Amino acid sequence: MKKTLIALAAVAATGAAFAQSTVTLSGLLDVGFEKQYSGAAVNMISNRNATSNWTLSGAEDLGGGMKAVFSISTSFNVDTGTVTGAAGNFGNNGMFVGLTGGFGTLRAGRPVNTLYANSMFANGTKGVSGYDTNTLLANQRGGLAAATAGVFVDNALQYHSPRFGGVQVQVEYAPSEQSVAPKNDGLGIAVRYDGGPISASVTSYKAASAAGATAENKAVTQFAGAYDFGMAKVLFTYRDQSGAVSDLDTGYALGVTAPVGPGSVYASYNVSERAGDDATSFIAGYKYNFSKRTQAYAQLANGNDVLNVSKAVPAKSSTGFGFGLTHSF
């Protein structure tokens, strides 16, 4: 349950009242067991269904329909207590401060990048380690990993327009902060539609060049869509990287989710283009809802020899599985 702390309106000596603010503490814990492939050890592992985190977020009413908003989220491993990603930085799960109102929403800081925010996957990026949908699509040898720059983007300014008939425009700018050439800034733009059973988006995204880079990152074009039939929801995401050779530049994921009993099943077939044969994975799972906040899950995954999750020599296909428990508060 989210705990909301409401700052009481204070009256200054002049009798002026300060605007009301709210601060919310929320979070999630996810931990389970996993066997990544035949011959691998059974590991206790965190964050395979969702990302464990604690998050502070809030808003202040500025009047005239405008609010100041913020979010600070830090992810961690439930099994070890270590902080995950971004070298263990505070706010590694995203942070921003911004303004929202009739004009739309403006955010500055380290928000979710525009490419990832508009992808549509059956199970997010999660599942058995090494078979993850988004990771697979971001690891073409043509350089998509650099072009996408992960789930969150540093030094970013984002603008989301109001929705007009279900359509929203999203723009992102992230300066490279380099004083010498190549000074290649990051830029993202997306047009998204959400209405009834349909969601669809078109995104062009280029990450800012890292310090010391000698070449500009190439843009990634992404098409994503989802249709909810009621008995099942079908999702599709396709990525194409400009500048990469034709047999290394694309990846896609086709997935489905469906309610079953007190939970839901999901399945996804994922392809990442490679020279010669493509890397492929199939992931599936079931999520059982004990309540709105507590969920048990079981996951299964298979990858071909090109994906080679086990890093075997010679390369070979593999199958992994896992199960665990997620609780949000």
**pLDDT for res 148:** 61
- Going from N- to C-terminal start, the domains of the chain cover 3-328
pLDDT lower than 70: segments of the chain: 1-19, 85-88, 139-149, 181-182
Entry pTM:
0.89
Tokens of 298: 């079981």
Token match 């800034």: residue? 185
**pLDDT for res 149:** 60
The domain defined by 3-328 carries CATH number 2.40.160.10: yes
